[in-house]
């Protein structure tokens, strides 16, 4: 039996980061992964979808080239080469997977290929081979939830309905797609396929898409998607699925929609298979851990989607660092209120901290300042003016408690807010920080000026 200081079960963005960090701190580490290193994010989620979204953006830019003074003699000659589009996606993913494998090898982490079954808190079985470890980090991730809807299982088996993994591996571009659910993944896939010319319908159970995001963001994105041709049906009760047809009810009226593909995007659930021998405390969202990512079992830690705190790759990585450091005698923790979340739509969304409604409910003396993208020179030059930045702050000291951005590159811009909030920055700090011109980032500075007094480049009504 091979012995290690730490065994990491799962080689996704939480697991491989935890393994590398622990090895850098001097531990002997093994990673057990039944698929390829990189996890769902790298192989079937974050990276492939963003690669495909880039292709969709290029396609849209070509179709709109005339507004930039570039004429394509026959726009109908601009066509999507689906096999090449998918080939590029695979090439990007393979290159990054190879890079992760190289990093693990360089740091002395041993990788075991196969499904890991936990025998006890110090022992893992991988295809009949036993590994022993002083500590165990569980990083088994999550899987798409497949709700109990009549006929859905049969639709999946027949190839009509797919989850997000299936949606990035379609053999041809669908003419139509129905998306069950209106969360982040749904919006990204709606953006992707509508931009490529697919007729997209979103069926959402509640009164609006993107439940949980700031109301201004939700309203802007819902309106923009509709403007771009995405049909959004809310307050839906799905009754049953018959092959490629979804039957549902809205305000007592029976309706149905038929499409080439049905994308089921109704949440994710923690992967607990192989952990049955551990008496883990399981909460409503996943495995319960403390601030050091330790479970109720000494020496056993859990990170990432398995815990269900925030199902984001960068959160899993951050939690992996915390767990590795905790095992190796260092102390760190995560303030989940200061974790940015992103939506890779057109335009993008970046958000961190409290929404306006959450801040009021939390008892802050709330101040809000919003600056529109339409008043920004760089946005006008690029011809993309849908969006805004909204800063939510506590009036007492001016501390920034939430930032919400809808804009091209919002997923990059939100990092400025993350740094500011980690440093307990104020709207005064943001307003005094000189931003380069012309850039989209200036809207953050302008919104901060609006919080302090008045923005420069819009007329703020008293």
Active-site residue (options: 115, 224, 409, 437) = 437
Q: Buried b vs exposed e over 260-283: b needs ≥16 C-beta within 10 Å?
A: bbbbbbbebebbbebbeebebebe
Question: Is 437 considered catalytic here?
Answer: yes
Taking residue 147's Cβ as centre, other Cβ atoms within 10 Å add up to 11
As annotated, the active-site residues are 437
């Amino acid at each position: 039996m091979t012995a290690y200081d730490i065994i990491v079960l799962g080689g996704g963005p939480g697991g491989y980061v935890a393994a590398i960090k622990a090895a850098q701190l001097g531990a002997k580490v093994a990673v057990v992964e039944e698929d390829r290193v990189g996890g769902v994010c790298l192989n079937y989620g974050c990276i492939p979808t963003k690669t495909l979204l880039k292709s969709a953006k290029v396609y849209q830019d070509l179709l709109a080239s005339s507004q930039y003074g570039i004429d394509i003699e026959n726009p109908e000659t601009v066509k999507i080469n689906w096999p090449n589009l998918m080939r590029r996606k695979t090439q990007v993913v393979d290159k990054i997977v190879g890079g992760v494998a190289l990093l693990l090898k360089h740091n002395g982490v041993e990788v075991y290929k196969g499904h890991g079954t936990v025998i006890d808190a110090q022992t893992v079985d991988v295809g009949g081979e036993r590994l022993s470890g002083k500590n165990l980090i569980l990083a088994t991730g999550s899987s798409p939830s497949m709700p109990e809807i009549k006929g859905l299982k049969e639709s999946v088996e027949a190839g009509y309905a797919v989850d997000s993994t299936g949606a990035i591996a379609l053999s041809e571009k669908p003419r139509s797609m129905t998306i069950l659910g209106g969360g982040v993944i749904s919006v990204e896939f709606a953006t992707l396929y509508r931009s490529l010319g697919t007729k997209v319908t979103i069926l959402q159970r509640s009164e609006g898409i993107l439940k949980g995001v700031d109301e201004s963001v939700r309203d802007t994105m819902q309106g923009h998607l509709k403007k771009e041709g995405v049909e959004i049906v809310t307050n839906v009760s799905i009754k049953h699925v018959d092959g490629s047809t979804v039957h549902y009810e809205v305000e007592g009226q029976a309706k149905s929609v038929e499409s080439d593909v049905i994308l089921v995007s109704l949440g994710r659930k923690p992967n607990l298979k192989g952990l049955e021998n551990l008496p883990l405390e399981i909460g409503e969202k996943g495995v319960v851990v403390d601030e050091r990512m330790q479970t109720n079992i000494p020496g056993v830690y859990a990170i990432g989607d398995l815990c269900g705190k925030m199902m984001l790759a960068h959160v899993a990585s951050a939690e992996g660092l915390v767990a590795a450091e905790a095992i190796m005698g260092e102390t760190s923790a995560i303030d989940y209120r200061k974790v940015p979340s992103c939506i890779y739509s057109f335009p993008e969304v970046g958000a961190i901290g409290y929404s306006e409604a959450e801040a009021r409910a939390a008892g802050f003396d709330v101040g809000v300042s919003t600056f529109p993208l339409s008043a920004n020179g760089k946005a006008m030059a690029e011809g993309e003016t849908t969006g805004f930045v909204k800063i939510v702050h506590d009036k007492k000291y001016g501390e920034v408690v939430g930032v919400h951005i809808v804009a091209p590159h919002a997923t990059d811009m939100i990092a400025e807010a993350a740094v500011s909030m980690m440093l307990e920055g104020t709207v005064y700090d943001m307003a005094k920080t000189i931003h380069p011109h012309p850039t989209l980032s200036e809207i953050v500075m302008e919104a901060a000026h609006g919080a302090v007094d008045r923005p420069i480049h819009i007329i703020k009504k008293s």
